[in-house]
Structures are given as C-alpha cells and as structure tokens.
C-alpha cells in the first residue's frame, strides 16, 4: 500500500513537472509582452534560466494579474472554480446514478428490447453535440414548459453570502430564514445544466457498465451464486458489482477531462459563472495571463484526479493488491 | 469455356476485406448508418447542384419559418435566417465545408500520428518513454481547452482551427499505432519474415501494416467524428470558421440570437451535426464489431 | 481497508435514495412569487470594470456605478438632457462665464456599511477630493488603481480648469481658463460623480486605498451589497438617501453577456429589464406576455461624410446632388427595420436648438442628375466609401447601408466602391483623413449641441481629425464659437440655428438617420425611463405589487 502511494506520488510529481515544461514552452508562443513581464521572463536570459524563474513564480503562487480586472489570477481562479466544481460533480453524480442502473438493466436482459433501447440511446447520447442539446433543452424545458430556470445559480430573491462558493453548501449554512428553500432553489437551478453536462458521460458509463456486467455475469462464480439460489439483487449488487466496478472506475477517471471540456460549452449556454466562461472571456480579450493560469490549474487538477482514481482502482481491485 | 463442370465442391475463401464487409452488413443498424453517411457525403460532394440558392444570397424575407409552417413559404423549404439567407442552402453547403474540414484535420493528424507512432514503436526505450509521456499529457488535457489555447495563440479563423483540432487528435493515432505494432512485432510471422531476410521497410509495409489496419481504421472513424464535433464546437464559440462561412457550428452560433423567437434557425443545423455524428459513430461501432476488435 | 459489506450497501442505497428524492423535489419545486416581489432584476451585458466612474468610459460601468451609487453636483432630468440641481442646490455663473460657484446641499448622507461609518455629511471637501484626484497629478490618490481618467482628459478639463476652491463648507468655486457654456452639462456627466473624501482618508490610514474603487461609498439612491464577478451585483436602497428612500428595496444586476440568453430570461420572467436588445428581439417581444418594449429617440446620428478636400467633393453641387440621390426611407426600412427617424440636420431632433423648419432635400434622382451635369460630371464619377464591420447603436448594419446607397448612386451614374474595415482601424484611418467618403455616426455624451458641432464640423476638428469631412467654413465656425461662450440658452439656440442653415446649404454630409433606443421590460416595472444618451437609471423605479396577484 505504501509502495503504491510512493509510486503514485512520484508519478504525480513527474507529471506535474512535465506539465510545467509544457505550459512554459507553449507560453513562449504567447504574443503578449505583459505575460512575460508578469512571470519574470526576460528575452536576454537563456531558456533554462527563464524556466527556473518561471518555476519559482509558479511555486510561489504569483501567477500574475489578469489584464481585464487587474486582480490576481490565482485568486480569480479560486473564485470561479467552486461554481464549475459544483456543476461537474452533480453532472458526474447524475451520469453515475443513471448510467450504472441502465447498464445493469441492459446487461441483465442482454439482447432483449430493453437492451436494444438502452444501447441505441447511449449512441444517441454519445453523438449529441452538447452546445445544441443545451439550447434545445433550454428551449423546451425552460421556455416552453417553464419547469426550470433559464440561467444563473440561484434566484435573486434569495440573498446568500458566498462563503465556500458552493451554492448548495452556502445556502444550507446561511442563517437566513429561507435557507432550506434557497437550497432547493439552487438544486433547481443546477438541474438542467448538470443534465446537459452529464449526457455524454452518462452514455459512456452505461456502455461500460453493460459490457463489464455481461463479462462478469457469465463468469463461474456468478453461476455458482445463482445455483445457490441467491436473489438477483444480491447477485448483482453484492457479487457482480464489485468486479464490474473496476473498469467503470477507470472510465470515471477519463471522464474528468471530458467534463471540463463540457463545462466550457455548458457554462456559455447557461451563463454559469465558472471557469469555463472565465477562460473563454480571456480568449476573446486575448488575456494570456488568465489563459495560462487556467490551462495550468485545470491540467494540474486533471492529472491529480487521475492519480486519485488510480489509487482508488487499486483499492477496489484485489488482484492488484495481491500482486504486490 | 462457357460453363466448366464443377468436379469438386469448392468454397472460395473470402478475402479479409470481404469477410469484414460480410460481418458489417450483418449489423442492420450500422448498415443503415452507412447509407445515411454516404447520403450526407453525396450531398457534400454535389452541394452546388443540390442547393436551391447561393449560401450567402440575401433575400428581403427575414426569419421565414419552414415551409410546412402556416407562415412558411414554399421557396424556402427550411425557412430563412436573420438576414434573409435560405437555411437549406446554407446547410447543404455547410455539409461540404464541415466534412471537408474534418477530412483535412484527420488527414493531418493521421499522417503525423501514424508516422510518429511507428517511429516510437521501433525506437529505443528512452525516446519511446519521452514520446509516450508527452502524449499522455496531451491526452490528459481537456481537448477543447487545448484547442482553444492554440487558437488563442495563432488567432481565430479557419486554417488555425484546423491545426488546433489536428494537434489534439495526434496523440490518439500515436498511441494506437504504437501499441498495435508492439502487439504484432513479437508474433511468429514477423520472426519468420525476419528469418526470410526481409529488411525493415518490407517488414513494415508487407508484414505489419496489413495487420494493424483494423485498429487504425476504427481510430480513423473515431477521429473523424471527434473532428466534426470539435470544429463545430470551435465555430460555435466563435473561434473557428468566421461569420459568412456556412460551417454548421458557425451557423448555430449565429442563429443562437434567435433561439427564442425563431427556434427553427437553431434546430436544423443542430440536427445536421447530430445525424452526421450519429452515423459516423454507428459505422465506427459496426466496423469495430466486424473486425473483431476489443474496445 | 474498506470492506463493502451488506450494511455499507444499505447506507449507500439510503444516500442514493435521498439524493434522488432531493432531485425530484427540485423538479416539483415551484417558484414562490411572493419572495420575488421586492427585487428588481436587470439583465446587464457585462461586468463593470470598476465601481469608480472616474476611471472608466464604458456605459456598463456607469450603469453599475455612477447611475446607482453616486450623485453629481448637477444632473440630467430623468429621460431628458435638461440640467437640474442635485448635490449642488444652486449655482452662479460670473458674467464673463469663467467662474462657477456651486452652493451645496446640506443633510446629504453617504452610504453606511460595516467598513465605513461616515462621521459627517457630504460637504465641499468631497467635491474638492473628487475633482482633484483626476485633475492634480500630484494628488496622493491620482495613481491609485493604475487606470487613467480618460473621460476627464477627453473633455479637456485639465486645461480648462484653472482652480478649484473651497469657499466654505457648502460653497465651491471652479475657475476656468476660458468661457465655456457646456461646462455645466459636463458636470452632469458620469465621470464627475462625487466620492467620499472621509472614506478615502480612512482607507489610506488602513493602507488599502484601492478599496475606494472596488468597495464604493457614495450618496446615491442605492448602496452596494455584494458583487460576484461575472455573476451578479446586488444593491439595496440607501436608507438615508437625501431625496427619499427608494420604494424599490432590492436591485440586482444579473450579468448576462449573451443577448439571446438575456432575451430568454426576460421572456421567462427572470429579468425585469433587459439591456441592449437586438432588433429581432424588439420585433418578437410582442408575442410574449412578460415583455414590453420601451423606446425613445436616441441622441445620435448616422451620416455619410464626404471628404471636401478630395475632388469631386470640393464642389458644392456634387455634395447637394448626393443629398438628392439617396433614398433615406428605403435605408430606414431595410437597415433599421423602421426603428429610426430620418435625419436632415447634424443634430438629433430631441436636442434643444434643433431647427424644425429646415426643409430636407427629398429623394429626387432627376434633380441630382441635373446638379451633376451643372457641376460638370454629366457622366458621373468613381467614388469610394469606407464602412465598418461592427454593429453600433446608431447603425446596426453599415455594410448593408452602403450597399443600398450603391444602388441609389448607380441611378445617377456614380460608381460606388465599398471598403469595409474592423471598427478600431476604421476609426484610425478616418481620423487620418485618408478616406474619400465614409459612413459614420455620433452619440451625444452630455446632451449639449456643442458636443456635435465642435468635434464634427469645426475648423479645429479638421486638425484633430474628428471633422471627417475636413469642412472648414469661417462663418459657421464663428457662429458655434460664439454660441459656446454664451450662457443664455435662447441666444445659443439662435446661433446654432443659423449654423444649421449654413450646414444645409453647404451639405458636407448626407445626414441619414437617428436610431431609436430600445429597452425590453417586464410590465410590472413602473416609472422606468430611457435616457437619451443610453444608460439605465433605477432611481424612482418601482415594482407593481399587484401584477402577479391576478
């Protein structure tokens, strides 16, 4: 176990190191004097010298000030990040909560009409251009049926002080008399964006669960369990699930970057005040300090999550544990 | 010679391609997707003949609903957009543009990716490790984010968007090629060829290449669908093809202004992207099954 | 090591169940309109750059700062360009027009929050501080926040103001280097907002002077509660506002840059007021129950400027011919979709001193052809027009306008070539005077006619490049200079009317249209007025509480 942690942290450190080399070299192409100035990069120094200066700036947390607002970009990132994190988490939950049961249903009734319906729906979901899907849902659900709000994170009748930046948390810890009501309102606002963002992961989770389950269900130990007369529920959730979880977990790790890609578009459609919108604004204004900070922070985050998923997979998978 | 009597019960052994085709046509969904895809490709090729009007021609009739609608007009089958252009014509020309762009992207990415993958597979441990680490890193980054950063550096517009999406797709080709070659290289037939005295070029072209084709073909269809989607996404965000160009994503972003008052301007371009992606993905799935590949 | 046993699974199942219930409850949750009654939501197009209007030139910033949080010495009457007393209850102008003495209002209270509790009311020190920060380069606050005082500089106040003097706690005197009658209108502009000197001092002693521009304290009708960048700005009514406390208790600016999303939010009832609707939205808003379009003529003009330094536009008859040849009605229909009025003078009709009696040339191609023959261009000539690609408030589609003009001029034998540029480079190139002719426009800053005449048509304007026709008429120039140095509105109007007659006779432009301004609001919003220079004021606005009840 300790060995694994050491190995994973070493991997994390090298990956982050390569990442800084990557962002440093890509930043050499930024057509922005301001960026170089703010990160202490000077043309007269050698590339190596500049890289070490760059690293020391990055590690001391001085990522520069944004050209638009003039405030510290790292601070800005932290302001916008919770909104994105909240959205992505909920989308992930939605995708897992719907995807796994759907995948199991399909696997259990392999080649039945349910299976066919589910598999073809996943292909539809997987092929959905989410910028169009989002607009379509806003048009139908929000405007035609009036079921969900069009945009923003909370109704403006609720005055909630942002403490953590996570609206679901902030509403609950708020001392206003309408705290609980505001919590449900925040959830209500999150509903449509997280469905849009979760559509592609949902399709992928369903497919992966289905194929993993089919494989597991045809194995000998499941047949033994069936012979013993265990209920379907016990067989699937207690015995089969544990083995099917491994490929699912691996895919969850891969979906993190899909989710981030999705937030860039989802936040544009729903005017969600998160990092996706923040980054796009930076691109339109050609604010390279912000762009660099966003690229570095998001990539580091993705790498970090991947390592965590790796450790989790190890945890769940007894085969890997025994091999040590 | 007209009719030779058959003395033996012969069964012709089908070629590999024919076997794949047989397998593929077994899958009805994939076959119909292939029909739809060919249809879209035909539209793209013959768009100047099929489109009723020029895609930039402006009529004085703004935001006319589709022709089956009460206020629709028969000469504009899918209606007109905000500045009076025929939506059907724009979509037909858009098919040409969007598919052409995706094709260019895939061609660039595949050429560079397969070359790099081959070189990596045959090179020493250190270079291999270095290339793989970099590819892993690019893969870990959110693809659209990377494309956006590249576009931000070299500026928005069509050729730049193509480069950006191509860069994002390269690692997939490198990794697929490398692992496919690695799988083959230790097999007996390769050893046999080496013992036969085949040089490296021959070994690769005659021996390994035919055997790594299936994963590459699947990778190509996957990349094609990703390219269509990412180019449209960049166009939607205003970073890809620019305004008068009838690229599907750009059309969507233009008509976004009218989503509330003229929803049809949003519906049709979206449907076009969606059906193209769906048919490519279905064909890709069908191919994978037909060639007996594990995901 | 976590072992997933049956109990764990039960726990997981419970979690899943409660989460699903919560989601379902979210679906069924219905908006409680009762809580919404005391908050007005304005869907704005962007985040403010700062909360100090002195540091900005953007209307979005002014909407969020000067127009809600601050007051000025004098202000425009809501919805007009007439000047009325505000923080100054009266003023005197010396007979030579060079000295302005303002008598300040007593009992004006600044905002009060957890950071700052004012110990005194507004007085002359605040006025001196607000102007000296911009005027005096050695002022300790001059370089705080690193943004320049662009509006102050553009109005050339640095050289105009000779001295600012505190006479008593409630009397301030401005001495000018020359007589300048638009000065009062300038004092009503957003950058002339009054900030608290006491708050500035407190921040200096706390070592964070830049908070003056991010955590604002003003005297205005609303005070800032919270600002979440790119999300919203929340205000509440200023309880001790010097006029009276606003009926509207809560005001929220919801930052929604995407125009279609803004429109969707008004349609869905999430926004009460929508900024900058597109022409298609104005047309479509009749179809929805929660939208009402307010419109008012804007203080702007779109015109075709002919460079009189280049032939054949040095010939009066050619310029007149163009005036007769262009069909303005067709342009207003096709380009503005009817949301504009025809222009005949260089200033808009809702501005004082506008000459109603000017007779316009009318669309008479035959007469135009005849004039061209008289000028010696019987076979027409080649002409180039420059346009910009951007959409502006006064011209939604300059390129389309140029195409229509092209058709009109073809009829009288003029071959027009259209060249389109990006907005910034277009302005620079025109300023350098390299154009043959150009499609331009102008929006008033302060409602004073001088703001049109001097930059656009004076001889001085030919030097600075704002006079794009390079037209310098001595008589016209004398008239507008005389008008500028006089104080009596009636006398000034007389000079300006004479000047307009000369303009018409010489016609360095083809005046085309005055675009109408639009705002879409929810019908429950009452007493909302559009200001002629663009911009949104919520003072005096309130919500009809009965609206949702029936």
- Domain match, A52 and A139 both: no
* Whole-Å CA distances, A234 to A227, A240, C10: 13, 9, 12
Task: Round to whole Å and give the CA distance between A101 and C52.
Answer: 55
Average the pLDDT over B125-146 and give the result: 85
Average the pLDDT over A68-73 and give the result: 78
- Counting Cα atoms < 13 Å in the Cβ hemisphere of C240 gives 14
Q: Mind listing the domains of chain B with CATH numbers? A: 28-292 (1.10.3720.10)
Task: Round to whole Å and give the CA distance between C296 and C516.
Answer: 6
Task: Round to whole Å and give the CA distance between C263 and C276.
Answer: 10
Q: Read out DSSP for A9-39?
A: HHHHHHHHHHHHHHHHHHHTT---HHHHHHT
- Domain interval for residue C245: 1-66+220-291+522-550
Give residue-wise pLDDT tens across range B265-274: 899 999 999 9
- Domain match, A162 and A39 both: no
State the CATH number of the domain containing residue C507. 3.10.105.10
Q: Is C396 helix (H, G, I), strand (E, B) or coil?
A: coil
Please indicate, yes or no, if residue A226 is contained in any of the structural domains: yes
CB contact under 8 A, A286 and B137: no
- Domain match, A136 and A43 both: no
Closest Cα in chain A, distance from residue C117 (Å): 21
Give residue-wise pLDDT tens across range C188-232: 988 899 999 999 999 999 998 888 998 999 999 999 999 988 889
- Domain match, C206 and C251 both: no
- Domain match, A162 and A195 both: yes
Q: Read out DSSP for A205-267?
A: HHHHHHHHHHHHHTSHHHHHHHHTT--HHHIIIIIIHHHHHHHHHHHHHHHHHHHHHHHHHHH
- What are chain A's partners, defined as 3 or more CB pairs within 8 angstroms? B, C
- Domain match, A91 and A198 both: yes
Please indicate, yes or no, if residue A65 is contained in any of the structural domains: no
- Domain interval for residue A27: 2-59
CB contact under 8 A, B237 and A268: yes
Total of domains in chain A: 2
CB contact under 8 A, B259 and C260: yes
Cβ contacts (< 8 Å) between C263 and chain B: which residues? 260-261
Helix runs in B80-207, H state only:
87-122, 125-140, 143-154, 158-185, 188-195, 200-202
* Tokens coding C430: 């025109």
Cβ contacts (< 8 Å) between C268 and chain A: which residues? 142-143, 146, 149-150
- Domain match, A138 and A176 both: yes
Please identify, among C191, C214, C237, the residue that sits at the C-terminal boundary of a domain. Answer: C214
- Domain match, C318 and C259 both: no
- Domain match, C501 and C449 both: yes
A vs C, Cβ pairs < 8 A, gives 104
- Domain match, A12 and A77 both: no
Residue C312: asked if its preceding bond is cis (omega within 30°), the reply is: yes
- Phi, psi dihedral angles at A277 (to 5 degrees): -65, -40
Please indicate, yes or no, if residue A66 is contained in any of the structural domains: no
- Domain match, A115 and A264 both: yes
CB contact under 8 A, B260 and C284: yes
Cβ contacts (< 8 Å) between B258 and chain C: which residues? 260, 280
- At residue B204, the pLDDT reads 82
Closest Cα in chain B, distance from residue C287 (Å): 9
Check if C294 contacts B (Cβ < 8 Å): no
Please indicate, yes or no, if residue A161 is contained in any of the structural domains: yes
Total of domains in chain C: 3
- Domain match, A191 and A165 both: yes
| DSSP H or E run through C252 | strand C250-255
Q: Quick one: which of A204, A192, A200, A158 has its CA closest to A87?
A: A192
Across the interface, which of C260, C267, C287 has its CB nearest the CB of B257?
C260
- At residue C391, the pLDDT reads 66
Q: Is B236 within 8 Å of B250 (Cβ atoms)?
A: yes
Task: Round to whole Å and give the CA distance between C73 and C476.
Answer: 33
- Domain match, C441 and C496 both: yes
Query: Do β-strands C300-306 and C509-521 pair in parallel, antiparallel, or remain unpaired?
Result: antiparallel
Q: Is C348 within 8 Å of C298 (Cβ atoms)?
A: yes
CB contact under 8 A, C281 and B261: yes
Task: Round to whole Å and give the CA distance between A91 and A50.
Answer: 40
CB contact under 8 A, A150 and C265: yes
Provide the residue count of chain C. Answer: 550
Q: What is the maximal distance between C-alpha atoms in chain B?
A: 76
Task: Round to whole Å and give the CA distance between B169 and B163.
Answer: 10
CB contact under 8 A, A153 and C231: yes
- At residue A93, the pLDDT reads 94
Check if B84 contacts C (Cβ < 8 Å): no
Give residue-wise pLDDT tens across range A295-322: 999 989 888 888 888 888 887 777 766 6
- Domain match, C287 and C310 both: no
Cβ contacts (< 8 Å) between B295 and chain A: which residues? 211
Q: pTM for this structure?
A: 0.82
Please indicate, yes or no, if residue A39 is contained in any of the structural domains: yes
CA angle, residues C364, C367, C369, in degrees to nearest 5: 110
Residues 249 through 288 of chain A touching chain B, CB cutoff 8 Å: 257-258, 260-261, 264-265, 268, 279-280, 282-284, 286, 288
Check if C293 contacts B (Cβ < 8 Å): no
- At residue B9, the pLDDT reads 67
Q: What is the maximal distance between C-alpha atoms in chain C?
A: 102
Q: Is B226 within 8 Å of B210 (Cβ atoms)?
A: no
- Domain match, C229 and C188 both: no
Closest Cα in chain A, distance from residue C265 (Å): 6
Consecutive 10-residue runs of chain C (550 residues): their mean pLDDT? Answer: 38 44 41 60 87 84 91 86 90 90 94 92 94 89 79 79 92 91 88 93 91 92 91 94 91 89 88 84 81 86 93 91 92 83 91 87 91 90 85 78 87 87 73 89 83 86 82 91 84 92 92 90 89 82 72
Percentage of residues in chain A with pLDDT exceeding 70?
Answer: 98
- Domain match, A274 and A308 both: yes
- At residue C23, the pLDDT reads 44
- Domain match, A179 and A130 both: yes
Please identify, among C190, C214, C238, the residue that sits at the C-terminal boundary of a domain. Answer: C214
- Domain match, C281 and C311 both: no
Check if C10 contacts A (Cβ < 8 Å): no
Query: Do β-strands C415-421 and C382-388 pair in parallel, antiparallel, or remain unpaired?
Result: parallel
Provide the residue count of chain A. Answer: 324
Asked if residue B7 has pLDDT above 80, the reply is no
State the CATH number of the domain containing residue A107. 1.10.3720.10
- Domain match, C391 and C504 both: yes
* Whole-Å CA distances, A52 to A299, C217, C284, C464: 20, 44, 58, 49
Q: Quick one: which of C68, C64, C106, C54 has its CA closest to C218?
A: C68
- What are chain C's partners, defined as 3 or more CB pairs within 8 angstroms? A, B
- Domain match, C441 and C307 both: yes
- Domain match, C140 and C178 both: yes
Percentage of residues in chain A with pLDDT exceeding 90?
Answer: 31
- What are chain B's partners, defined as 3 or more CB pairs within 8 angstroms? A, C
Task: Round to whole Å and give the CA distance between C113 and C119.
Answer: 12
State the CATH number of the domain containing residue C247. 3.40.190.10
* Tokens coding B86: 């025929």
- At residue C428, the pLDDT reads 75
Task: Round to whole Å and give the CA distance between A263 and B233.
Answer: 12
Across the interface, which of A30, A127, A257 has its CB nearest the CB of B278?
A127
- Domain match, C28 and C134 both: no
Residue whose structure tokens are 């950063």: B149
Across the interface, which of A18, A132, A280 has its CB nearest the CB of B273?
A132
- Domain match, A29 and A95 both: no
- What is the average pLDDT value for chain A, to the nearest integer? 87
Residues 42 through 101 of chain C touching chain A, CB cutoff 8 Å: 47, 49
Q: Quick one: which of C91, C90, C50, C45 has its CA closest to C70?
A: C50
């Amino acid at each position: 176990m300790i060995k694994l942690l050491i190995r994973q942290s070493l991997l994390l450190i090298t990956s982050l190191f390569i990442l800084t080399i990557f962002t440093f070299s890509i930043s050499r192409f930024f057509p922005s004097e301001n960026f170089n100035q703010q990160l202490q990069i000077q043309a007269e120094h050698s590339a190596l010298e500049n890289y070490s200066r760059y690293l020391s700036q990055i590690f001391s947390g001085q990522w520069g000030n944004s050209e638009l607002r003039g405030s510290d970009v790292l601070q800005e990132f932290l302001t916008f990040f919770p909104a994105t994190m909240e959205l992505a988490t909920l989308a992930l939950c939605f995708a897992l909560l719907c995807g796994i049961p759907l995948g199991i249903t399909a696997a259990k009734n392999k080649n039945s009409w349910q299976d066919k319906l589910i598999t073809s729906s996943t292909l539809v979901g997987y092929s959905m251009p989410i910028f169009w899907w989002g607009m379509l849902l806003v048009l139908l659900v929000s405007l035609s049926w009036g079921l969900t709000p069009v945009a923003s994170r909370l109704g403006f009748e609720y005055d909630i002080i942002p403490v953590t930046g996570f609206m679901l948390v902030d509403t609950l810890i708020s001392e206003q008399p309408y705290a609980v009501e505001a919590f449900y309102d925040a959830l209500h606002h999150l509903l449509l964006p997280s469905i849009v963002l979760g559509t592609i992961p949902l399709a992928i989770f369903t497919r992966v669960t289905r194929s993993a389950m089919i494989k597991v269900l045809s194995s000998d130990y499941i047949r033994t369990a069936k012979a013993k007369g265990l209920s379907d529920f016990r067989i699937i959730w207690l015995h089969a699930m544990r083995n099917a979880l491994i490929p699912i977990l691996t895919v969850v790790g891969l979906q993190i970057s899909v989710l981030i890609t999705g937030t860039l578009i989802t936040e544009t459609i729903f005017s969600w005040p998160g990092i996706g919108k923040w980054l796009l604004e930076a691109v339109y204004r050609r604010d390279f300090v912000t762009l660099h900070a966003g690229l570095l922070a998001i990539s580091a985050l993705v790498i970090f999550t991947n390592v965590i998923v790796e450790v989790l997979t190890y945890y769940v998978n007894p085969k890997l544990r025994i091999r040590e | 010679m007209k009719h030779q009597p058959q003395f033996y019960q012969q069964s012709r052994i089908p070629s590999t391609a024919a076997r794949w085709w047989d397998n593929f046509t077994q899958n009805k969904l994939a076959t119909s997707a292939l029909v739809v895809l060919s249809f879209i490709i035909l539209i793209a090729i013959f768009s100047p003949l099929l489109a009723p009007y020029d895609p930039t021609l402006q009529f004085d009739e703004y935001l006319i609903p589709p022709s089956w609608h009460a206020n629709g007009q028969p000469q504009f089958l899918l209606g007109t957009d905000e500045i009076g252009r025929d939506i059907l014509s724009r979509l037909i020309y858009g098919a040409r543009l969007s598919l052409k762009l995706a094709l260019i992207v895939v061609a660039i990415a595949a050429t560079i990716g397969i070359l790099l993958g081959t070189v990596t597979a045959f090179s020493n441990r250190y270079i291999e490790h270095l290339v793989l680490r970099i590819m892993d890193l690019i893969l870990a980054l959110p693809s659209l984010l990377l494309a956006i950063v590249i576009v931000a550096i070299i500026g928005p517009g069509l050729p730049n968007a193509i480069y950006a999406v191509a860069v994002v797709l390269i690692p997939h080709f490198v990794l697929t090629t490398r692992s496919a070659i690695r799988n083959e290289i230790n097999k007996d037939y390769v050893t046999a060829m080496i013992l036969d005295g085949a040089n490296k070029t021959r070994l690769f072209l005659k021996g390994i290449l035919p055997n790594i084709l299936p994963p590459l073909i699947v990778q190509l269809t996957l990349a094609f669908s990703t390219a269509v989607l990412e180019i449209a996404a960049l166009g939607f965000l205003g970073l890809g093809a620019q305004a008068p160009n009838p690229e599907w994503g750009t059309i969507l972003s233009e008509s976004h202004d009218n989503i509330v008052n003229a929803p049809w301007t949003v519906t049709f371009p979206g449907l076009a992207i969606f059906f193209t992606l769906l048919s490519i993905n279905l064909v890709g799935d069908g191919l994978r099954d037909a060639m007996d590949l594990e995901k | 090591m976590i072992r997933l046993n049956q109990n764990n699974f039960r726990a997981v199942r419970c979690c899943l169940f409660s989460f699903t219930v919560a989601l379902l409850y979210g679906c069924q949750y219905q908006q409680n309109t009762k809580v919404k009654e005391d908050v007005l939501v304005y869907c704005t197009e962007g985040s403010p750059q700062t909360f100090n209007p002195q540091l900005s030139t953007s209307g979005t910033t002014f909407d969020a700062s000067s127009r809600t949080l601050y007051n000025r010495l004098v202000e425009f009457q809501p919805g007009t360009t007439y000047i009325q007393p505000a923080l100054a209850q009266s003023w005197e102008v010396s007979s030579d027009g060079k000295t302005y003495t303002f008598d300040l209002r007593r009992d004006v209270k600044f905002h009060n929050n957890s950071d700052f509790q004012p110990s005194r009311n507004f007085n002359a020190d605040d006025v001196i501080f607000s102007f000296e920060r911009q005027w005096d380069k050695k002022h300790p606050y001059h370089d705080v926040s690193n943004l320049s005082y662009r509006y102050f500089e553009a109005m050339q106040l640095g050289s105009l103001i000779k001295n600012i003097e505190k006479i008593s706690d409630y009397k301030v005197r401005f001495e000018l280097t020359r007589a300048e009658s638009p000065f009062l209108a300038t004092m009503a502009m957003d950058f002339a907002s009054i900030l608290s000197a006491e708050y500035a001092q407190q921040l200096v002693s706390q070592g964070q002077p830049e908070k003056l521009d991010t955590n604002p304290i003003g005297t205005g009708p609303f005070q800032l509660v919270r600002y979440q960048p790119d999300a919203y700005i929340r205000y509440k009514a200023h309880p001790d506002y010097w006029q009276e406390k606003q009926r509207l208790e809560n005001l929220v600016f919801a930052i929604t840059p995407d125009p279609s999303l803004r429109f969707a939010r008004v349609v869905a009832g999430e926004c009460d007021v929508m900024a900058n609707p597109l022409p298609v939205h104005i047309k479509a808003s009749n179809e929805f129950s929660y939208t009402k379009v307010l419109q008012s003529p804007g203080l702007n003009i779109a015109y075709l400027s002919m460079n009189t330094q280049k032939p054949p536009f040095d010939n009066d008859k050619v310029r007149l011919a163009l005036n007769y040849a262009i069909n303005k009605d067709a342009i207003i229909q096709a380009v503005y979709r009817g949301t504009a009025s025809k222009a005949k003078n260089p200033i808009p009709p809702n501005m004082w001193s506008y000459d109603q009696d000017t007779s316009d040339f009318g669309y008479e191609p035959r007469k135009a052809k005849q004039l061209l023959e008289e000028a010696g261009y019987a076979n027409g000539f080649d002409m180039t027009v420059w346009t910009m690609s951007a959409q502006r408030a006064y011209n939604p589609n300059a390129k389309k306008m140029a195409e229509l003009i092209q058709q009109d001029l073809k009829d009288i034998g003029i071959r027009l070539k259209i060249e389109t540029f990006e907005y910034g480079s277009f302005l620079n190139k025109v300023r350098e005077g390299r154009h043959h002719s150009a499609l331009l426009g102008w929006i008033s800053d302060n409602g004073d006619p001088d703001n049109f005449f001097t930059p656009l048509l004076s001889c001085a304007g030919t030097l600075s490049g704002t006079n794009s026709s390079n037209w310098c008429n001595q008589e016209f120039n004398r008239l507008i200079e005389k008008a500028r140095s006089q104080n009596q509105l009636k006398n000034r109007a007389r000079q300006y009317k004479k000047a307009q007659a000369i303009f018409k006779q010489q016609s360095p432009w083809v005046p085309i249209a005055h675009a109408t301004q639009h705002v879409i609001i929810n019908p429950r919003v009452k007493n909302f007025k559009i200001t002629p220079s663009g911009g949104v004021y919520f003072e005096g606005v309130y919500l009809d509480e009965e609206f949702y009840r029936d």
